Amino acid sequence: MSSIDLSRSLKLASRDFAARKFDYYRAMLEEPRVYRGHISVVKLKLLASYDECLALLKDPRFIRNRSTVTGGSRFPIPMPKTVQLLAASMIQEDGGAHQRLRNLVNRAFTPHAIAALGDRVEDLSQEVLDHLHEGDRVDLIDAYTSQIPTAVIGEMMGLHQEDMPTFRNSLKVLTKGLSGWNLLRTFAFDLRRTSSFVRALIERKKAEPGDDILTGLIEAEEAGDRLSEDELVAMVFLLVIAGYETTTHLIANGVVALLAHPEQLERFRKDPEIQGPAVEEILRYTGPIHGTKPNWAIEDVHDFGEPIRKGEAVMPMLGAANRDPRAFQNPDVFDIGRSPNHHLAFSHGPHFCLGSHLARMETRIALRDLFDRFPGLKLDVPENELEYATMPGWNRFRQLPVVLGS
C-alpha cells in the first residue's frame, strides 16, 4: 500500500482516498495547515483540524454561491433548468437569500410535524422488518437502511401508495444518477421526468392540502412571502438528496460500527438511555458526511496559516475534525457513552442541518428495532472487505452484506 503524500493535491474522488480516508485524516491532523485537493477539475483548499473547520463554518468571508464571487452563472457551461434547480437549493445560498428560505422551511418543519413523523417511523421500521427473516442473506442498505428514509420522505410529501413506484425511481435519479456515466442520461432525460412528477405533486397538494410537510412548505408564509414553484421543486430535490442519502448511510454506518464493537452493541441493546448518545457517537466516529459543499472566499483570508485568496474554494473536512485529538479524548475509540460530544457531523453555523432531529430519530429507532429483531445479525464478509463508495465528501459503503440471525 502506498504511503500518504500530503505534499501533492489529494484526489478526493479516488479509490485510495475513499478506502484510507481515516489514515489521511490522521496524517493531516499531525500538522494542521491548509492542504490542497481536487474533485475532477475543481481545485480546493482543505482544512482538517476541529478549530479551523469550526472557524470556517462560522466565517462570513466564505460563501456557498460561487457566482457571487465569480459573477455570471453558477455553472461554467449552460445547463438545463432542471439541473440548475439542483444547484439553487438552500444549502447553496448565503446571507439574506439563505435566511429567507430557511425561515420559510422552518415554518413547515414544526414540532408537531416532526413528532407525527416520529410516530410513523416506529410503524415503518417494523413493517420493513416484517419482510425480513432469520437466516436471510441481504444487502442491508437495499433491504432495510434505505427503506425507512424512503418511506419517511414519502410521508413528508404526502404521497399516495400509487405514487411510490414513480417516487422510488425519482430517488434513484436524484441519488445514483448524479455520478459516473449515468450523469448524461440523468441531465438529458431523467431529471426532466422527475421534475414533472414533483410539479404535478405540488399542484395536487395545492388543490388537496394534507397534514404533511410538503403542504406546509406550499402554505408557509412570512411577511407575505412564499416559496415559488421553482423553489418548491428545489426544496423537494434537497429533501430527497439530504434526507434520504444521509439517513440511509448513517444507519448503515451505525450497524457496522456497533458490530465491530460487540461490547458497545451490548450496551446499546440493554440500555435505552444510551441509545441517543450512541447516535451522536456514530455521527462523530463514522458519520456519512465528511465534507461540506465548497466554500468560496469573497476576500483574501490570512487566518489559517496560509493565505486563501479571493475566489478560492475551501472544504472543511468534517470527518477529520471529528477525529481531532485536540478536540476529543481518544478520538479513534468508539464510545457510545462519550460526553461531551461536540461533533461537526451536521455542520455548524448558518448551514447547520435543518433535518438533524429527524435523522437522529430515524437512526435511533432503526438501529434499536433492527438489533431487537435480529440480535444475532452479523456481517457476511470480513469488515475489511466492505468497499467504500468513491464519493467526495461522503463516508458510505457501496453495499452492506449481512446474515440475519436471532
Residue 34's CATH number: 1.10.630.10
Strands 42-47 and 35-39 come out as antiparallel
Provide DSSP, 94-152: -HHHHHHHHHHHHHHS-HHHHHHHHHHHHHHHHHHHTT--TT-EEEHIIIIITHHHHHH
* pLDDT at position 166: 84
Q: Which of 14, 119, 63, 18 is nearest to 308 (CA)?
A: 63
Rounded Cα–Cα distance for residues 186 and 83 (Å): 9
Per-residue DSSP letters for 179-194?
STTHHHHIIIIIHHHH
Residue 177's pLDDT band, with cuts at 50, 70 and 90, is very low
Amino acid of residue 148: I
SS3 sequence of 14-62: CHHHHHCHHHHHHHHHHCCCCEEEEECCEEEEEECCHHHHHHHHHCCCE
- At residue 144 the predicted structure's pLDDT band, cuts being 50, 70 and 90, is very high
Cα distances (angstroms) measured from residue 179 to each of 285, 309, 363: 26, 30, 26
Predicted confidence at residue 89, as pLDDT, reads: 72
| pLDDT at res. 70 | 79
What's at 222, amino acid-wise? E
Any domain includes 2: no
Averaged pLDDT, 254-270: 98
Q: Which three cell numbers stand for residue 23?
A: 489514515
Who wins on pLDDT, 187 or 248? 248
Q: Which of 44-53, 76-85, 166-175 has the highest mean pLDDT?
A: 44-53
Structural domain contains residue 154: yes
Within 239-335, strands assigned E span 295-297, 313-316
The three-class DSSP label of residue 85 is helix
Amino acid at 122: E
- List own/partner pairs for 76-81 with CB under 8 A and 24 or more apart: 79/187, 80/187, 80/188, 80/191, 80/192
List all residues 6 or more positions away from 189 whose beta carbon is below 8 Å from its beta carbon: none
- Is residue 94 within 8 A of residue 66, CB to CB? The reply is no
For the segment 10-14, the average pLDDT, to the nearest whole number, is 95
Taking residue 41's Cβ as centre, other Cβ atoms within 10 Å add up to 6
More confident residue, 107 or 333: 333
Instruction: Specify if 294 maps to a domain.
Output: yes
- How confident is the model over 95-118, as a mean pLDDT? 85
Mean pLDDT for all residues in the chain: 89
Has residue 3 been placed in a domain? no
Whether residue 299 lies inside any domain: the answer is yes
Mean pLDDT of all residues in 214-218:
92
* SS3 category, 370: helix
> pTM for this structure?
0.92
Mean pLDDT in residue range 60-85: 72
- Is residue 5 situated within a structural domain? no
Tell me the C-alpha distance between 348 and 125, whole Å. Answer: 30
Which is higher by pLDDT, 114 or 344? 344
Structural domain that includes position 94: 10-403
Amino acid identity, residue 367? L
Q: Say whether the peptide bond before residue 294 is cis (omega within 30 degrees of 0).
A: no
Is the Cβ–Cβ distance between 233 and 198 less than 8 Å? yes
Give the count of domains, the chain: 1
Are the beta carbons of 258 and 371 closer than 8 angstroms? yes
Q: Is the pLDDT of residue 393 over 60?
A: yes
Q: Which residue has the higher pLDDT, 210 or 187?
A: 210
Distances (CA, A) of 319 to 97, 242, 286: 28, 17, 8
Tell me, yes or no, whether 93 lies in a domain.
yes
